[in-house]
Amino acid sequence: MKKWICMALSCAFVLAVSGCGRSENQKRTEENIASDIPVSDSSQSESLSSETSVASEQPVSIEPISAETNSTKIEDNGHMESERSETVEESISFDFESKRVMLNSGYEMPIYGLGTYSLTGEVCVDSVTAALNSGVRLIDTAYMYHNEESVGEAVRNSGIPREEIFVITKLYPNQFSNPEAAIEEALTKLDIEYIDMMLLHHPGTGDVDAYLAMEKAVEDGKIRSLGLSNWYVEELEEFLPQVNITPALVQNEIHPYYQENDVIPYIHGLGIVVQGWYPLGGRGYTAELLNNEVITEIAQAHGKSSAQVILRWNLQKGVVVIPGSSNPDHIKENTELFDFELTEEEMDRINGLDRNEKHDWY
């Protein structure tokens, strides 16, 4: 009996020791598994959680869409990109009450102004002064107009706060080889503290490098917004992927005989404002356009001039207008565009006048 009791006690002891061993091994295995998870992963998880929390408290910033990323995103997700394009187009719609448009650079620009091509010396000073006195706050000049000094003089002597006037100037291709000096020259000639917007006048050798120099001037506070003149779809598709700041504006020839109905939506889709030069057809063509039967009929219906109808047509198409004139009466007339509206039928009739007829070489 004692023998059986001893054997039973021995078996119980062995089982107890074995059970303790299994429990300890299981515990060590769990510790080893836990130790296989890198500490960095744990901290990274905490870091990501922290970053997500911080990011959710920050305003969402949508970057401008370049031609390259735009086409890529359409290919990846056409529906999403279509919605984004519609949002961009809405964001550049004109405010007809303030008579301004918000640029993708964050600055507001008037939607009508004065073009100064062919205006020089005192004629230019007087014309810009007349425009400012008539409520115009957008003035377009260029190196090749040889009137930057005159524009600057009129702006400085106007008595109007500098921040209320928006001045555009341009670098010409013969300046692209030394854009830094060209930018300084424009600043000196205008002498108005800063340049609201600088454009490249048209494509040429070195245009990308010139634009990159303009980007640096934006960083330095010398220029506020950038743009291009005489760039169309193919030129934009090639140019935009090579620069960092999306142009805020593209300025092209646009009038009822040359409407760019394929180009304007493309540019708007990139979040870029469109501005039209030669809105009344340009020298040698203005009389014919102003006497066009369709336009004169519409003008009579509204009690307006043909010029006012054409300018209003541009505005309703989302095109900023900068008609040029040295006549104070015409300058004032060209500002009286906001007390009437063209009907859809009238817009369609003018749209039907398109001849794809360009009146200048670039």
Cβ(282)–Cβ(297) below 8 Å: no
Query: Pick from 242, 249, 194, 185: which is nearest to 218 by CA?
Result: 194
Rounded to whole angstroms, how far apart are CA atoms 258 and 357? 5
CA atoms in the 13 A half-sphere facing the CB of 209: 12
As given in the structure block, the two tokens for residue 2 are 């004692």
Between the CA atoms of 202, 203, 207 and 212, what dihedral angle is there, to the nearest 10 degrees? 60
Backbone CA torsion sign across 264, 267, 273, 278: negative
Query: β-strand 100-102 against 108-110: which pairing, if any?
Result: antiparallel
- Would you call 144 exposed, middle or buried from its count of C-beta atoms within 10 A (0-12, 13-18, 19+)? middle
Query: Pick from 307, 312, 355, 362: which is nearest to 329 by CA?
Result: 307
Q: Is residue 257 flagged as an active site residue?
A: no
Annotated catalytic residue within 112, 145, 257, 258: 145
Query: Pick from 162, 142, 116: which is nearest to 227 by CA?
Result: 142
Between the CA atoms of 181, 186, 191 and 195, what dihedral angle is there, to the nearest 10 degrees? -110
Please give the single-letter amino acid code of residue 60.
V
- Backbone phi, psi, residue 34, to 5°: -65, -40
Q: How many residues does the chain have?
A: 362
Active-site residues, by number, are 145
